[in-house]
Chains A and B, each alone.
Chain A
């Protein structure tokens, strides 16, 4: 919506000048590519079992070694990126959509609607999210779809608060009064005047949210209630790794590194975007 605007360009320029953010962006793009075209990064099949080559250390044939069933760890980490990216984006997409709608409603309507929605947010925030997810998955079958949905449905409160606050301040701005004087209806005012101006902080929250969602998915899979084997996910590779950590370090190190670097990348990018859109840093 804003990529082509002068303002968007300005933000992009400031973002690129921030080296940490640019590095974060590079990491994000890299793992995106890994998830999109895994064949570029490994020629191995992540599910091919090779009992003759169990728990082999990194070598030319298996750059990151093999696991307890002789599967190539590089291939599993590469295909695991798919799960992480998918969960990260879909979960955050769900959370952001809910947050946007409820935040706009609460902020624009104010009064009773606002009070009810914000108390609902408070209630949702009272639950320890991770245990809520654990409980939900205990009832439902652990599948990637369920995980995405549950992470999304428990992660929208921050966005809702953010959007509400932005909406509250934006609706008092003169350009909204001008639009009303021109005869613009409520829908037009909300979607043309308020929403586009409230998106910048949402983008930041969403970027940071992807990192959180990836971490949550990894943790769930590590505990065995996330993505189920044989589908590779960074979390469930680590589960296997912990059994052999004393003599097969590669099985824990590489998926762990993948999680660390990805989450770090999203966090740096998110913080970079936040600094770039923060008006107080303008002109630096």
Chain B
């Protein structure tokens, strides 16, 4: 472990998060005075270049969704910095934040709770235009129809309510809403996880087409490695609030460096290019309230040695352009 410590390239990046921390308070019981906090995101750095896709992968509960929401300031970080398109948005407030938000949008996992059941589809899609004074009335209606057609919906869908559509169609509506303001960045938070496999492919292709057409960058969150491989240019693997490995998608999938990444890949048949044996992890993911000392992963790692329980490995360059947080990578 001699490589250079990972430092996100903030120049030229659309989104750059540096050393971002986020904890949530938990209260064990009414009488408990202990100040316990879930360390959801524990010092994460990453960048998303313009027009590219960074895939963020990890088990459920590893902090991916929290990180995704931090990226577009739906949550406020405890510390660290977030730069978007050259501006520091870490503590941005009020009107400045409202205007910046036009450039960054989100597609949610649950197509049911992400659309207001009391609003017509065209009003959902066009809400951004309305609040930014870009279109209203007849013009909003027409623009919403064009946009709906673009995402593969019938134009008449605009006059209907969300409950009249299937999960896949609702997700198309959610995508239409996300791209309505022509953002530079879209955070896709498990956008296909709630859908049937056949519908997943359609939605993924739609997202790819849109990326090519509009040059949108994605921060693409998923627990599904096949999905991540399909969409990502670069990948970051998270475990218990920390990035374990990051690098170009092709390299990472061909030759994972971190034992955690290797175990993840081995769990998906036919995914790793090199035939590998199934690595079965023992035990459960530890509680993020009291993460293990040293390397977060050492309690389940098949390579763990004494040092792993004592020293937390930093994210270091292990091969050109590739970083892993492991003492043995």
Most B CB contacts (10 A, CB to CB) among A5, A182, A192 go to A182
Interface contact A7-B118, CB-CB below 8 Å: yes
- How distant is the Cα of A183 from the Cα of B131 in the complex, in angstroms? 7
- How distant is the Cα of A252 from the Cα of B113 in the complex, in angstroms? 54
Q: Which residue of B lies closest to A1 (CB)?
A: B118
A181-B74, A182-B181, A197-B116 known; A7 vs B105 contact (CB < 8 Å) = no
Q: Which residue of A lies closest to B180 (CB)?
A: A182
Assess whether A180 is interfacial by the CB under 8 Å rule. yes
Q: Collect the chain A residues with CB atoms within 8 Å of residue B127's CB.
A: 179, 182, 184
A71 to chain B, nearest CB (A): 50
- How distant is the Cα of A196 from the Cα of B114 in the complex, in angstroms? 15
A181-B105, A181-B106 known; A175 vs B161 contact (CB < 8 Å) = no
A175-B115, A197-B118 known; A184 vs B110 contact (CB < 8 Å) = no
Assess whether A141 is interfacial by the CB under 8 Å rule. no
B49 to chain A, nearest CB (A): 21
Q: Collect the chain B residues with CB atoms within 8 Å of residue A173's CB.
A: 113-114
Interface contact B101-A181, CB-CB below 8 Å: yes
The interface on chain B, measured as residues whose beta carbon lies within 8 A of the other chain's beta carbons, has a size of 32
B122 to chain A, nearest CB (A): 14
Interface contact B160-A6, CB-CB below 8 Å: yes
A166 to chain B, nearest CB (A): 13
Q: Collect the chain B residues with CB atoms within 8 Å of residue A184's CB.
A: 127, 131
Assess whether A283 is interfacial by the CB under 8 Å rule. no
Q: Which residue of B lies closest to A194 (CB)?
A: B116
Q: Collect the chain A residues with CB atoms within 8 Å of residue B177's CB.
A: 178, 182
Contact digits for A164-197, partner B, Cβ 8 Å, 1 yes 0 no: 0000000001110111111111001000110011
- How distant is the Cα of A1 from the Cα of B116 in the complex, in angstroms? 14
Q: Which residue of B lies closest to A176 (CB)?
A: B116
Assess whether B192 is interfacial by the CB under 8 Å rule. no
- How distant is the Cα of A173 from the Cα of B102 in the complex, in angstroms? 20
- How distant is the Cα of A185 from the Cα of B116 in the complex, in angstroms? 16
The number of chain A residues touching the other chain, given as a range, is 20 to 34
Interface contact B131-A5, CB-CB below 8 Å: no
Q: Which residue of B lies closest to A199 (CB)?
A: B118
- How distant is the Cα of A181 from the Cα of B109 in the complex, in angstroms? 15
Q: Collect the chain A residues with CB atoms within 8 Å of residue B160's CB.
A: 6
A7-B118, A182-B131, A183-B99 known; A177 vs B74 contact (CB < 8 Å) = yes
A173-B113, A197-B117 known; A180 vs B74 contact (CB < 8 Å) = yes
Interface contact A6-B161, CB-CB below 8 Å: yes
Q: Collect the chain A residues with CB atoms within 8 Å of residue B124's CB.
A: 175
Q: Collect the chain A residues with CB atoms within 8 Å of residue B131's CB.
A: 182-185, 188
B117 to chain A, nearest CB (A): 6
Interface contact A177-B108, CB-CB below 8 Å: yes
Interface contact A6-B101, CB-CB below 8 Å: no
Q: Which of B98, B102, B106, B163 contacts A7 (CB 8 A)?
A: B163
Q: Which of A1, A7, A180, A183 contacts B117 (CB 8 A)?
A: A7
Interface contact A177-B106, CB-CB below 8 Å: yes
Interface contact A183-B106, CB-CB below 8 Å: no
A175-B114, A184-B131 known; A192 vs B119 contact (CB < 8 Å) = yes
- How distant is the Cα of A179 from the Cα of B113 in the complex, in angstroms? 12
A7-B163, A177-B108 known; A183 vs B132 contact (CB < 8 Å) = yes
- How distant is the Cα of A221 from the Cα of B287 in the complex, in angstroms? 63
Beta-carbon contacts under 8 Å, B29-79 to A: 69, 72, 74
Assess whether B315 is interfacial by the CB under 8 Å rule. no
- How distant is the Cα of A2 from the Cα of B83 in the complex, in angstroms? 42
Interface contact A178-B106, CB-CB below 8 Å: yes
Q: Collect the chain B residues with CB atoms within 8 Å of residue A188's CB.
A: 131
Q: Collect the chain A residues with CB atoms within 8 Å of residue B101's CB.
A: 180-183
A182-B128, A183-B132 known; A174 vs B114 contact (CB < 8 Å) = yes
A27 to chain B, nearest CB (A): 29
Assess whether B164 is interfacial by the CB under 8 Å rule. yes
Q: Can you list 5 A-B contacts with CB-CB less than 8 angstroms, sorted by A residue number? A: A179-B127, A182-B131, A183-B99, A188-B131, A193-B116
Q: Which A residues lie at the B interface, using CB under 8 A?
A: 1-2, 5-7, 173-175, 177-185, 188, 192-193, 196-197
Closest 6 CB pairs of A and B: A174-B114, A182-B128, A196-B118, A174-B108, A175-B116, A183-B98
